[in-house]
């Protein structure tokens, strides 16, 4: 039986771990990020991968820093046939990669070499791409730079956000991995080096990147709303009040108003102008200190003060 050390953290990695279990790979241990405080009440929470590992009675390692840790040495001492990683969240030291008998394989949520880094799905949606995908690569010391073992494209639908795309990609990644690993094990595969001239990076989203720019077209503003949902959620400042925009929709309408102006306001609809005369319908939002609310509730509350023609976002 092929032995595997699995390393992953978010929900994206859970179907991949479960797929390996279902196919009777011998999972020696699972390595995931330490329990973290989450939510407004900062309750300590286990990662989705840890929850899945515990449910399957698998040993779990959670080093704060993998390099040089006792947990890393334990993985090395296993000398597994394979290491499989899926959004683990830390670099794997060379010493650890060298301890693998067959290969260390990463399941990456993009069509490499486009979008190396920690936020590939977010950048694909935010840039208005029509597709993203899964790349299986050999792990090397340099981030997401290993030779490509297999790839599969996945369309991005107009209503997809980061959460829905991760759900789709996790299933595609699971199936592609399970179809490819037997060839990796037997050596019946021809890895393809990445084209260095086509490399695009996708670093983690910084807080200053969460603000929407209404000088961009409505399509691009909405793309960012979708890319940053459900976390961290994009925001704008409406009449001086920081407001998260959870959901919006591009409207087939044009305007000559300055970006960020109220184009139309009814009891159930708020249309704002964006760049190049485009128009965006705001559907769900969250003013600072308030719960998330539908646009109708907002317009019956704080939104009552908004006036048609007023530039509320500057």
Contact between 177 and 189 (Cβ < 8 Å): no
| Alpha-carbon span 140 to 138, nearest angstrom | 6
Element (H, E) at 77: helix 70-78
CB 66 within 8 A of CB 36: no
Candidates 226, 228, 229, 224; CA nearest to 213 is 224
Provide CB contacts within 8 A for 94, sequence distance 6+.
141
Query: Does 111 carry a binding-site annotation?
Result: yes
Q: Cα–Cα distance between 185 and 26 in angstroms, integer?
A: 14
Query: Helix %, strand %, coil % for the chain, to 5?
Result: 30, 30, 40
Q: Is 113 annotated as a binding residue?
A: yes
For residues 173 and 169, what is the distance between their CA atoms, to the nearest angstrom? Answer: 6
CA 111 centroid distance within chain = 14
Residues with Cβ within 8 Å of residue 55, at least 6 apart in sequence: none
Cα 57 from Cα 295, distance rounded (Å): 45
Is 281 annotated for ligand binding? no
Query: Is residue 112 a known part of a binding site?
Result: yes
Q: How far, in Å, CA of 165 to CA of 1, rounded? A: 33
Which amino acids are annotated as binding site for (6S)-5,6,7,8-tetrahydrofolate, given as ranges?
110-113
Which amino acids are annotated as binding site, given as ranges?
110-113
């Amino acid at each position: 039986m092929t032995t595997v050390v699995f390393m992953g953290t978010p929900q994206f990695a859970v179907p991949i771990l479960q797929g390996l279990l279902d196919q009777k790979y011998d999972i020696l241990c699972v390595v995931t990020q330490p329990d973290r405080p989450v939510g407004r009440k900062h309750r300590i929470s286990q990662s989705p991968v840890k929850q899945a590992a515990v449910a399957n009675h698998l040993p779990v390692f959670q080093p704060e820093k993998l390099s040089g840790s006792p947990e890393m040495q334990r993985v090395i001492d296993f000398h597994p046939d394979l290491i499989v990683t899926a959004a683990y969240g830390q670099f794997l030291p060379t010493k650890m990669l060298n301890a693998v008998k067959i290969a260390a394989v990463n399941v990456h949520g993009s069509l490499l070499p486009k979008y190396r880094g920690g936020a590939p799905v977010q950048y694909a949606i935010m840039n208005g791409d029509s597709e993203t995908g899964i790349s299986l690569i050999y792990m090397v010391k340099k981030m997401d730079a290993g030779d490509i073992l297999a790839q599969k494209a996945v369309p991005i639908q107009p209503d997809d956000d980061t959460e829905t795309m991760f759900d789709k990609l996790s299933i595609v990644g699971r199936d592609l991995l399970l179809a490819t690993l037997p060839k990796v094990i037997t050596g019946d595969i021809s890895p393809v080096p990445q084209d260095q001239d086509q490399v695009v990076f996708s670093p983690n989203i910084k807080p200053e990147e969460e603000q929407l720019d209404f000088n961009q077209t409505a399509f691009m503003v909405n793309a960012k709303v979708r890319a940053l949902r459900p976390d961290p959620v994009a925001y704008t400042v409406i009449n001086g009040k920081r407001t998260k925009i959870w959901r919006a929709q591009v409207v087939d309408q044009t305007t000559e108003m300055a970006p960020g102006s109220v184009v139309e306001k009814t009891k159930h609809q708020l249309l704002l102008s964006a760049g190049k005369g485009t128009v965006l319908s705001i559907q769900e939002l969250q003013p600072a200190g308030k719960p998330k609310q539908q646009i109708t509730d907002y317009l019956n509350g704080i939104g009552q003060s908004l006036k048609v023609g007023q530039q509320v976002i500057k």
